Structure 1
Amino acid sequence: MRAISGLWRWRHNPLRRATDLAEAWVALAALLLILVVTPVAGVLVGGVAQDALQDSVRNQRASRHLVTATVNRKLDRSPLDADPETSTGRELRTRVLAHWTAPDGTAQHGSVMASLKDPRSGDRFTIWTDAQGHLVARPLDSATATTHAVLAGFGAALLGTGLIETARRLIVWRMVRRRYARWDQAWDRAGPDWGRTGTGS
Structure 2
Amino acid sequence: MRFVWRWRRNPLRRRSDVVEAWAGVAAVVLMLVLGTAAGWAVGSFAHGALREAVRQQQQHRHLVSAEVVRSVTGTPAEPDHESTTGREGYGRFLARWQDPDGVEHTGLVALHQAPGPADRFPLWTDDEGRIAGRPMDRATAVVHAVLAGAAAAAGAAGLVEGVRRVVVWRLVHRRYAQWDREWQQAGHTWGRADAGS
TM-score normalised according to structure 1 size: 0.82
1:182 has 2:192 as partner: no
> Structure 2: how far apart are the matches of 1:103 and 1:109?
14
- How far the C-alpha of 1:144 sits from its partner, in A, is 0.9
Instruction: Tell me the equivalent position of 1:154.
Output: 150
Taking the aligned partners of 1:61 and 1:42, their CA distance within structure 2 comes to 27
Distance 2:191 2:100 in 1: 98
Deviations 1:141-196, CA, capped at 9 Å, x for gaps: 111111111111111111122111111111011011112222223333445x3314
| Partner Cα distance (1:34, 1:162) in 2 | 8
Percent of counterpart pairs with the same letter?
45
Q: Residue 10 of structure 1: SS of its match in structure 2?
A: coil
Shift of 1:17: 1.1
Deviation at 1:199, TM superposition (A): 6.0
- Tell me what 1:135 maps to: 131
Q: Which amino acid counterpart does residue 189 of structure 2 have in structure 1?
A: W
- The CA RMSD measured in Å over matched residues stands at 2.4
Q: Determine helix, strand or coil for the equivalent of 1:110.
A: strand
1:134 to partner: Cα distance:
1.1
Instruction: Confirm or deny that 1:170 pairs with 2:166.
Output: yes
Q: What is the rounded CA distance, in whole Å, between the counterparts of 1:34 and 1:126 in structure 2? A: 49
Amino acid of the structure 2 residue aligned with 1:167: V
Residue identity opposite 1:111 in structure 2 = L
Instruction: Identify the match of residue 192 of structure 2 among 190, 194, 197.
Output: 197
Q: CA deviation at 1:26?
A: 0.5
Amino acid at match of 1:51: G
Q: Retained in 1: the 8 A contact 2:70–2:93?
A: yes
Q: Which residue of 2 aligns with 1:55?
A: 52
Q: How does 1:18-33 map to 2 (within 5 A)?
A: 18-33=15-30
Contact 1:96 1:111 (8 Å CA) reproduced: yes
Quick check: 2:189–2:195 contact (8 Å CA) kept in 1?
no
Change beyond 3 A, Cα 1:169–1:146: same
Q: Which residue of 1 aligns with 2:81?
A: none
The one-letter code sitting in structure 1 at the alignment partner of 2:37 is V
1:183 and 1:14 mapped to 2: Cα distance? 16
Contact 1:67 1:100 in 2 (8 A): yes
Which residue number corresponds to residue 102 of structure 1?
99
Structure 1 unaligned regions, length at least 5: 85-92
Aligned length: 188
CA distance in 1, matches of 2:165, 2:101: 61
Structure-2 change in CA distance of 1:194 and 1:2 (3 Å): closer
Give the alignment's TM-score, normalised by structure 2.
0.84
Match of 1:119 among 111, 115, 118: 115
Question: In 2, are the aligned partners of 1:81 and 1:95 still within 8 Å (CA)?
Answer: no
CA distance in 2 between partners of 1:82 and 1:187 (Å): 69
CA contact (8 A) 1:114 1:125 kept: no
CA distance in 1, matches of 2:132, 2:195: 90
Matched position secondary structure for 2:116: coil
Asked whether the equivalents of residues 81 and 94 of structure 1 are also in contact (C-alpha less than 8 Å), the reply is no
Which is bigger in relative contact order (C-alpha 8 A, separation at least 6)?
A: 2
- Give the letter aligned to residue 154 of structure 1: A
